[in-house]
Amino acid sequence: MSNKYYSILTKIGQAQFANTAALGNKLKLKTIKVGDGGDDNGEETFPKEIDTKLVRERWNGAINDLYINPENRNWLVIEAVIPDEVGGFYITEFGLYDDQDNLVAIGKYPKTYKPNITEGSGSSLFLRVMLQVSNASQVELSVDPAIMLASKKYVETVFSRKTDSLENNSSEILATAKAAYKLNNKLSTAQFLPYDPKRRYRTGEICTVELNDQVIPMQMYAGPNLTCKGIDPSNITNRHDGWSDSKKPFWWIPYGGRVGMPFYWLSKTPPEEAVMEMNVNLPVEVYWRLAKTYPHLVKNNHINTGEIRGEFIRVWDNGRGVDVERNILSYQNDQIKWHHHDFVDENGIAYYALNDGNNRKKRGSDAVGTEGPDEQNNDCGINHTRKNNPNENSEKNNWKETRPRNIARAMAIYI
């Protein structure tokens, strides 16, 4: 599977499509279910054809619209709305069910948090997924009007039909208009809807766009109390990677990651929603969210998260007493712990190699001769070390620093 996020027909779905083709009837899709992959923090899933259920379901509801993508007749577009009073969970997976509650298709969804209205940030979540099938016309929507929520497009279509049939009955037209306006107004603040060039977006609001055959969530970035309208997030010149103005922030950024959180990265180039940690002064006018998260790192109207390249990370002691008198983000030079070396001769007698000033030895300077181990007659010596120049060692794993085995990875930080 080349796409990071995708949907596939299950074995049950494949069999049902084969039956519809043979018998000439249609498959009735009714319900969409979403889950968190079995983890409260949202676990990545990898849907398979043999799946019969989600890893862990968190919500299910009626599919409110189903239509064929006009650009590809074999793509089914399925839409649903999670209402604002439902939430408090992540979404990483979804499933499409028929009118007999069989899992027909399953998909991997971009990790998305659905807030609950009790958290102070309740809003409807618009779900829009696509399913590729051999013949999209073989599928129809099984509707329960009592529980169905409408998308904005659906409301506008129904409203148009309704008003056309009402002729001059102004009271019914007014009632219909009020109902449509109420639902449209509710959906106008919903997040993760497809980008609407007519909508005015506030900082922090999220829409979705299709880039490289994937549905990508985009967040309005431009700054506190700002809005934008008609500025397309799919245009790279409006986003971080294509931005050239160092005096003001870009408009859009891919949604994901907690601002200011460092993370390992497996490439030389960071993702668009992050920058590499490499001792760079970033202008506060552009990287305002990072500056707001770490105001103590701002100097001369720039923020610098520090130099991390080539360094090992140690967790801050924070009063434990193991690595005392350290401040967070402080640098520590390399050291070797106090120690001594014992050497055993051919008779099994241990000797201290060096005099530590407290006469902890049995033969003193005999343990290491005045000119090195050659004067030891090889009875207990250090036969790969030279006294004066450590770079003359014959061992391949001796070098100018003390280090464990390691792997070099880049570190980036969400902006």
pLDDT digit string, tens, across residues 252-261:
999 988 899 9
Query: How high is the pLDDT of residue 59?
Result: 95
**Cβ contact 241:252 at 8 Å:** no
At which residue do the structure tokens 């070797």 appear?
336
Stated as kind and residue range, the H or E segment containing 289 is helix 288-293
pLDDT at residue number 1: 46
Please state, in angstroms and rounded to a whole number, the distance separating the CA atoms of residues 33 and 93. 8
pLDDT computed for residue 161 by the predictor: 55
CA–CA gap between residue 177 and residue 88 (Å, rounded): 33
CB 249 within 8 Å of CB 286: yes
Task: Give CA separation, 210 vs 107, 126, 193, 342, in Å.
Answer: 17, 15, 12, 67
Question: Residues in the chain, how many?
Answer: 415
pLDDT at 367: 43
Question: SS3 for 265?
Answer: strand
Give me the residue label for tokens 């060096």: 354
Q: Pick the closest to residue 187 from 149, 152, 145 (CA basis).
A: 152
Three-point CA angle 272, 278, 284, nearest 5°: 65
In the predicted model, residues of the chain with pLDDT beneath 70 are 1-3, 21, 117-122, 135-189, 340-341, 351-399
What is the pTM for the complete model shown?
0.47
**Residue 384 CB-half CA count within 13 A:** 6
Q: Look-up: residue for tokens 């201290």?
A: 352
Q: What is the mean pLDDT of the chain?
A: 79
Cβ–Cβ under 8 Å, residues 283 and 411: no
